[in-house]
Chain A
Amino acid sequence: MRKKEDLGKDRLIWIYTQMVRIREFEERVKRTFLEHPGAMRGHTHLGDGAEASIVGALATRNETDFVMPSYRCHGYPIVLGTPPRNMMAELYGRKDGLCKGFGGSMHLADPARYFPGTSGIIAAAIAHATGAALTAQVKNTGQVVYCFFGDGAAKQGGFFESVNMAACWKLPIVYVLENNEYQAYTHISLEDANCMAGDPLSKKAAAFSIPGVTVDGTDPLKVYEVVGEAVDRARSGQGPSLIESRFYRLSAHGNAITVPPAPTQFPEHEAIGVYGNKAEFQAAKANDPIQRFRSELIKNGVLSEAEASRIEQAARSEMDEAVQFALASPLPSPEEATNYVYA
C-alpha cells in the first residue's frame, strides 16, 4: 500500500510543479487563439481541472510504464518530460513540432518517453492501451499501462470489449476514467446509466468482476493512493482495475468550431453556455485543484509563499519560451506531406 504520508517534500513539490506546468501550458494554448489568431487549426481540447488527477496518477509510475490517454492529451507528456516547446510547435503546425506538424493537438506522440500515441476517436485508444499491456505481458517486461479516458468514452463499445479482454487475460493496465461531468457538450446526468441511477461510474467495473474505485480527482494525493494500489495490483499480475477520478473540466470541450477565415476561440464552459448554470461553474472554479494543493502545501510547511511563486514564475517563463520557439519554427515544406504513409 502506498500512503501519501510516504511522499517526501521533494516529491510533493514535484507534484505541484507538474500541475502548474500543465495549467500554464493550457493557459498559453487558450490565449493563442487571441494572441495569434489562425496559428492553431482544427480542434484543441484542454486539460485544465485535470491536473491533480493526471499528476497524482503519474506520481505512482515507474520510468518505463506506458501512458496512453485520449485526444485531450497535453497534460501527460508534460509530466513525462516531453519538452513543451516541441508540443507547442506541434500545435502551431511547425517543423519542430513533436510530430513534425502531422498530428496537431489531438495526436501527440512521444514513444521514446513511453507515450506511444493518441487517437482523436473517442475510446479507440482504450483498445490501443490494452494492447500495450499485452506487449508488457507477452514480453514479461514488468511494465504497467496507464490508460486515461473520459466519461464519454466509457459508453463506447470499445471500452467494454477492451476491459473484458484485459480482465480475461489479466493484463497489467489501470483504466483511469476521468469523469469531468461533460461528454463533449452533454452533461453526464443525461447519458450515463450509472449516473442517472445515482451510482458512481466505477460501478461499471462490476460488469467485469474487477476492482472499481471512485476517487476525488481534485486531490492529487488521494489519486496517488488509489491509483498506486491499482498499479501495484496490475504489476503483480492480478490484472486491471477501473478508477473513476472525479473532477471538473474548467474550460469548454474545445475551441469553437468555425469555418476559416472566421476566427475561433474558447467559448464559455457548457455549464454556462449551454445549460445556463453559472453557479455550478463558479463552484468548480472555487474548488480549483491547483489553488487547493498550493494552500495545503503552504499550510503544511512544504512550500513557502515565495517558493510557490518561484515555481509558478518558472512555469510561465517555460511556456512563454515554448510559444516563442513555436513562432520561430518554420512551417513544414508542403511536399513533406507524402512522408510517413508507409513504414
Chain B
Amino acid sequence: MPREMMYGEAMATAIMEEMKRDPNVIFYGQNMAMTERDPMLKAFGRNRVRIAPISETAEIGIAIGAAMTGLRPIVELWMSEFMLVAMDQVINEAPRLRYMSGGQVKVPIVLKAGYGFAAGWAGQHSNCIYHTMMGIPGLKVVLPSTPADAKGLMAAAIRDDNPVVYLHPYMLMIDSGEVPEGEFVVPIGIADVKRQGTDITIVATGWMVKKSLAAAEQLAAEGISAEVVDPRSLAPLDVETIVNSVKKTGRLVLVDQAPRHSSAAAIIAAEVAEHGFEHLRAPIKMVTALDTSIPYSEPLENYVLPNEEKIVQAAKSVLMRQVVAA
C-alpha cells in the first residue's frame, strides 16, 4: 500500500528501513542526532548513528575505509558544495580503490547531499556540481525527483557495492507524493518516463522534472504532447530510454539546473547526437542555468535559472524547426 509522504520523510524512511535490514549500515554527519530524542539514535544507538565534526575529508575518507573493511556507511553532507572541500576523497579515492586493487576491495558508501537550493542562498550554496562526478568511472550518481524515487533510490544506493553520490534537490524536500510502503528499491541506472507524449521529448533531472511536467501541462493546453523523461541516475546513464523516446518524438529539449557546460544536459545531448541523430527532426535545444554564479536577490536568481516559461518556449522553438536533408 502506498502512503502519501514528503520527499524528506521518504529518504529518512529508506535509511531507517535499510538500517533495520542490515546491521552493517551506519549513518553519520554534522549537526545530526545531537539529542537522545533523535529517532535514528533511539532506534540504532550511538554506535551506528554518530555526530561528525565539520571535517568532510575525514568524514568521507573514514566512510571509505570503513566500507573497505565491511561496513556500509551513509554520510550526511547536507549540501553538495561541502563535498568540494573533500573532492580528493569523492573523486580520486572512493571510485579508484577497487580498480587499483584489481577488484580486491569494494567501497559501498552513500554520500547524501542536497543541491540547487534556489531560495536566496546565493553563490556558494545553490549549485549543481554533479557534472564533476558523473564522468568518474566507478562512481554512481543519482538524483531522485519524486518522494517514491527518493525512497527507492536511497535503498538501492545503500545496497549498492559501489560509492554512490545521492543528490536530492532541496527545492523538492517538502513536496508530497505516494510512496510504496515496505521494501521498495528503484534500480540505479534506469530512467523513468514521467509523462508519456508523442510530439517532443523533454529530458530533465531533479527539480527540473517538476518544472518540465508543469511545462508539459501548458504545452498540452496548446495541443502539444510532450514526453518527460527523468534519467534519475546520471552515472550510469540510461541512454537507451532517452534515445527510444527521441525515436518516437523526433525532437529533444534538455532541461538542467546547472550552467550549460557543466550540465548533464550537455552529455546527454552528445549521446543523442551520436546514438539518435537519424531520429532527430530538429536540432536539440538545451535549457540550462545561465553562465553566471547564482545571485542572491530573487529577480536575479529567477532570471538565471530555467523555468516553465523557458521550457515551453524552447519546446515551441524546436517544434517550429526542421532538419533539412542535404
Contacts and interface: CB of A to CB of B under 8 A. Distances in A.
A129 B102 contact: no
B251 interface: no
A98 B102 contact: yes
Nearest to B47: A138
Interface string A327-343: 00000000000011111
B199 to A, nearest CB: 37
B4 interface: no
Contacts of B57: 127, 157-158, 161-162
A343 B140 CA distance: 11
Nearest to A158: B57
Interface stretch (A23-31, A116-124, A230-238): A116-124
A285 to B, nearest CB: 34
Given A164-B53, A165-B53, A341-B137, A130 B65 contact: yes
Interface string A147-167: 000000000011001101100
B50 interface: yes
B62 A130 contact: yes
Interface stretch (B87-95, B177-185, B207-215, B273-281): B87-95
Contact of B69 (A132, A161, A168): A132
B61 interface: yes
A66 interface: yes
A109 B100 contact: yes
B102 A127 contact: no
B33 interface: no
A111 interface: yes
A219 B219 CA distance: 79
Contact of B93 (A121, A138, A339, A341): A121
A181 B106 CA distance: 35
Contacts of A107: 100-101
B93 A162 contact: no
Interface string A93-125: 000011111110001011110001101010011
A134 interface: yes
Residue from the set B63, B66, B92, B140 with the largest chain A CB neighbour count within 10 Å: B66
B69 A138 contact: no
A341 B65 contact: no
A135 interface: yes
A128 interface: yes
A127 B62 contact: yes
B106 A162 contact: no
B65 A132 contact: yes
Most buried by A among B57, B60, B101: B101
A138 B108 CA distance: 16
Contacts of B138: 341-342
A169 interface: yes
Nearest to B65: A131
B162 A343 contact: yes
Contacts of A341: 98-99, 137-138
A111 B61 contact: no
Given A99-B104, A111-B104, A127 B162 contact: no
B192 interface: no
Contacts, number: 157
Interface in B252-304: none
Size category of the binding interface on chain B = 35 or more
A236 to B, nearest CB: 18
A22 interface: no
A13 to B, nearest CB: 32
A128 B68 contact: yes
A265 B93 CA distance: 28
Contacts of A117: 68, 97, 100-101, 104-105
A111 B105 CA distance: 7
A221 interface: no
Interface in B95-121: 97-108
Interface string B70-100: 1101000000000000001100110001111
A322 interface: no
A36 interface: no
B155 interface: no
A168 B59 CA distance: 13
A126 B68 CA distance: 14
Nearest to A336: B102
A136 B65 CA distance: 11
Contact of A101 (B59, B73, B102): B102
Nearest to A342: B162
Contacts of B50: 169
B64 interface: yes
Given A131-B69, A132-B69, A164-B55, A102 B89 contact: no
A128 B64 contact: yes
Given A125-B65, A131-B73, 17 more contacts: A101-B102, A103-B101, A109-B97, A109-B102, A112-B104, A121-B88, A130-B58, A130-B62, A131-B63, A131-B66, A132-B65, A157-B57, A162-B58, A340-B99, A340-B101, A340-B103, A343-B108
18 contacts: A97-B102, A100-B102, A102-B99, A103-B101, A116-B105, A117-B68, A117-B97, A127-B60, A127-B64, A128-B68, A131-B65, A132-B65, A138-B71, A158-B61, A162-B55, A339-B103, A342-B161, A343-B108
Interface of A: 66, 68, 97-103, 107, 109-112, 116-117, 119, 121, 124-139, 157-158, 161-162, 164-165, 168-169, 339-343
